[in-house]
Amino acid sequence: MHLDDADVRAYQERGWTVVPDMFSTAEVAVLEQAALQVMERPGPEVGREADGSPHVCWGMHLFDERLDALVRHPSLVEPTKQLLDADFFVHQSRINMKQTNGSIVAWHQDFGTYHRVDGVPDPRGIMIAVFLDDVTHVNAPLLAVPGSHREGLVSTAQVDPTSPDFEAVSKYRYDITDETMSRLVEDYGLETITGAAGSVLFMDMTVVHGSSVNISPLRRLLLYVNVCPTDNRGETYERPEYYAARDFSAIEAGAPNCLLAFA
């Protein structure tokens, strides 16, 4: 599958595009089952809420063949190669579940950490999100600054040692300062990113984004696959492999039914 001209133009101008109905109900069911099982892992790759319930797992495709099949699904591989005009590797994958009254994610750029911590040289890469739940305005959707990818690396970002998840996650996350966020929103605006289950978001990894607490009773389960061209690989190895790739080989598309084989 290739993106149409409108999707490519939206990606280039806004910094992202959402493509509906890329995965069927049966494929979403396979991925949901895999995600929930992997989230039960006891290791340090799983981040937890204050009550101990899991809300994120990094390196998901390293731990489950169904999630490994996802990163090779042609519905992800072909549009990604189209947007990057290059072969790519998976720099990081993760499961993210927004539960009721769970964690927030402060304003940041994924590339901020990938550059400062992992040594990824250039701001060339895509954050891909597969929606396993309907994402609406009420269950803590991603909030993003359209056009912020034109800024490249936002320089005024800082690590927040007072963050509740500092030891586990946010010691690696460079949050955008309030002053910079005010200026970005004034210059570019702010939008929610919504879509039905089975939709896929393709977002430039320099887009400034975050999400608020989910105060609704509606879960929001997403799978993320963050990729870079094979010539834009990390050059430092401070973080474990589940955070940042050690395998820089190009991802090749699998069969169109690679997920349904697990149904």
For 16-30, the pLDDT digits (tens) are 999 999 999 999 999
Nearest to 3 by CA among 15, 26, 27, 19: 19
Task: Determine the pLDDT at residue 82.
Answer: 98
For 96-116, the pLDDT digits (tens) are 999 999 999 989 999 999 998
For 117-127, the pLDDT digits (tens) are 999 999 999 99
For 198-240, the pLDDT digits (tens) are 999 999 999 999 999 999 999 999 999 999 999 999 999 989 9
Task: Determine the pLDDT at residue 4.
Answer: 96
Which segment of 104-108, 162-166, 188-192 scores lowest on mean pLDDT? 162-166
Task: Determine the pLDDT at residue 188.
Answer: 98
State the Cα angle at 235 between 204 and 222, rounded to 5°.
35
C-alpha to C-alpha distance for 138 and 131, rounded to whole angstroms? 15
Residue 64 has pLDDT above 50, yes or no: yes
Task: Determine the pLDDT at residue 177.
Answer: 86
DSSP of 33-55: HHHHHHTT--STTEEE-TTS-EE
Residue 167 pLDDT grade (very low, low, confident, very high; cuts 50, 70, 90): low
Residue 137 pLDDT grade (very low, low, confident, very high; cuts 50, 70, 90): very high
Residue 156 pLDDT grade (very low, low, confident, very high; cuts 50, 70, 90): low
Distance (Å) of CA 99 to CA 182, 235, 254: 28, 35, 32
Q: With pLDDT > 70 as the criterion, what percentage of the chain qualifies? A: 92
State the Cα angle at 71 between 69 and 74, rounded to 5°.
85
Token pair recorded at residue 229? 């061209």
Q: How does DSSP classify residue 100?
A: T
Task: Determine the pLDDT at residue 163.
Answer: 54
Q: Report the mean per-residue pLDDT for the chain.
A: 93
Domains with residue ranges and CATH for the chain: 5-253 (2.60.120.620)
Residue 166 pLDDT grade (very low, low, confident, very high; cuts 50, 70, 90): very low
Nearest to 211 by CA among 258, 141, 147: 141
Mean pLDDT of 70-90: 98
Residue 161 pLDDT grade (very low, low, confident, very high; cuts 50, 70, 90): low
Max distance between CA atoms of the chain, in angstroms, equals: 50
Stronger pLDDT, 177 or 250, i.e. the higher one? 250
Nearest to 258 by CA among 48, 44, 77: 77
Task: Determine the pLDDT at residue 175.
Answer: 80
Token pair recorded at residue 80? 């990604």
Cα 36 from chain centre: 17
146, 92 Cβ separation under 8 angstroms: no
Residue 135 has pLDDT above 80, yes or no: yes
Mean pLDDT of 26-54: 96
pTM of the model: 0.93
